[in-house]
């Protein structure tokens, strides 16, 4: 039972363009969502998060959008840089279960110079 899904295994983007990574979830109890970035041989690194009371959160080049009715979130990276090439995971948690995250399968982002 995959409660958090990232349906695109990979995404290739040109440097300077926008990268859009998508994530869908099925559990309506999820109320906190996060994006992590992972480089090879390293642990995931927190990128940005959003609470279910918001529909958008920005941090520099990174913006996360949440559509609760569609149970969908997306991460926009503008402009994309070669250093952004990594595996991106979306994750979700329920209320007081902070720290007990349910992850998607990940999307490999490649940004070409």
Closest separation in Å from C-beta 113 to another protein: 27
Among left, alpha and beta (phi > 0; psi -120 to 50; other), residue 80 is beta
Q: Which is nearer to another protein, 44 or 73 (CB)?
A: 44
Of 15, 58, 95, 98, the one binding another protein by CB under 8 A: 98
| Centroid of chain to Cα 61 | 13
3-state DSSP call for residue 28?
Answer: coil
Q: Is 102 in the site for another protein (CB under 8 A)?
A: yes
Q: Is 100 in the site for another protein (CB under 8 A)?
A: yes
Pair of tokens at residue 75: 């991460």
Q: Is 42 in the site for another protein (CB under 8 A)?
A: yes
88 CB-contact burial (10 Å; exposed 0-12 / middle 13-18 / buried 19+): buried
Give residues in contact with another protein (CB under 8 A): 4, 6, 32, 34, 41-46, 49, 89, 91, 93, 96-106
């Amino acid at each position: 039972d995959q409660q958090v899904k990232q349906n695109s295994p990979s995404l290739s983007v040109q440097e300077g363009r926008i990268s859009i990574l998508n994530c869908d979830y099925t559990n309506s109890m999820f109320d906190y969502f996060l994006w992590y970035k992972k480089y090879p041989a390293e642990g995931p690194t927190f990128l940005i998060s959003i609470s279910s009371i918001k529909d958008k959160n920005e941090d520099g080049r990174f913006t996360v959008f949440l559509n609760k009715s569609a149970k969908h979130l997306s991460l926009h990276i503008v402009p994309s840089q070669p250093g952004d090439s990594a595996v991106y995971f979306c994750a979700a948690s329920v209320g007081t279960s902070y720290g007990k995250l349910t992850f998607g399968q990940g999307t490999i982002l490649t940004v070409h110079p």
